[in-house]
Amino acid sequence: MDSVDLEVIRTALLWTRSGHRATLGTITHTWGSAPRPVGAMMVIRDDGQVVGSVSGGCVEDDLIEQVRDKLIAAERPVVTTYGVTQEQATRFGLPCGGTLQLVLEPVTAKSKLDALLAIIERHELAARFLDMDTGEVRMEAGKWSDLLEFDGKVLKTVHGPRWRLLLIGAGQVSRYLAQMAQALDYNVTVCDPREEYSAEWPLPNVPIDRGYPDDVVVAMNADAHTAVVAVTHDPKLDDAALLEALKSPAFYVGALGSKKNNDARRTRLADFDLAAHEIARLHGPVGLRIGSKTPPEIAIAILAEMTAVRHGVMIPDLIEPAKNNVSAGCGVPQR
């Protein structure tokens, strides 16, 4: 989930525990242009303080006033809509006549935000169901295919990391990449069947799978919210994972190594049942060309490129600095 919305949940809990009244707002539907997507959240305190956003600001001003004066969602969840008319759209600053539907709910013990936050902080997915009549909440384990649903009676929201990252190899680059990716709300799994690497994996909150990479990729059922990055430098392991990942809908598939090594990799992959357009999806050398040399810098370059691909941003090759005579080490890409 969006890190801003995670902060909304944390803040709502903090405020209610300190004795304040808090009201949670969630976008359930939009028509036309909208500043924030369906599922975006905000929380309003009884004195008007607010964290999060559901629009460009004018909707928030009206909501703050109504919540502060107990004119809305004081006792139970309600639905409210902004921008039905052109006058409302203009008044509340909605772009191009856009319309915004929100569910507002008073935060109470029935909201179960503490249990929800615990699940999110374990980097797991949760589906939260809010009964509009009673304010009661139940939760279930989430699925990657889950989406926000609202039929007027029950609001289903999905919380937790909405993106997955599978790392092939448990070396230094994977350690930094896993930690940085978690900060961006990825659910991270590391695959490495080599005992000498997997036995010393230092991150207890990042699971390590000792299965063979191609089997792990298939079992993961990679979808359009999944990235697979191979960093072992061992063609037997990296290529096995890439063969399956490149056939999947994964939004990003990358492999560490120099241009020469990745050109050779593409030649090897062509000997299997991969089509040319599937091989062309490979990001190799992986990551943006920012001159990175150390494992943390390489991790930053990879995550930057993954972020650009996620958002559909086309980044042309950056100009690399002139190479000096100092070796960067075997197999370390000049990114």
Could you give the CA distance from residue 319 to residue 217 in angstroms, rounded to a whole number? 34
Please report where in the chains the tokens 């037997």 appear, as a residue.
Answer: 236
What residues does CATH 3.40.50.720 cover in the chain?
163-310
pTM of the model: 0.64
Could you give the CA distance from residue 274 to residue 205 in angstroms, rounded to a whole number? 34
Count of other CB atoms within 10 angstroms of residue 263: 12
Written as one letter, the residue type at 177 is: L
Written as one letter, the residue type at 272 is: F
pLDDT of residue 26: 96
Could you give the CA distance from residue 297 to residue 177 in angstroms, rounded to a whole number? 10
Topology (CATH) of 163-310: Rossmann fold (3.40.50)
Residues in contact with 335: Cβ distance below 8 Å, sequence separation at least 6, in sequence order: 285, 286, 287, 288, 289, 290, 291, 292, 297, 298, 301
Q: What is the dihedral of CA 108, 113, 114, 118, to 10 degrees?
A: 170
pLDDT < 70 stretches in the chain: 1-4, 33-34, 56-57, 84-97, 317-335
> In this structure, are residues 232 and 265 in contact, taking their beta carbons and an 8 Å threshold?
no
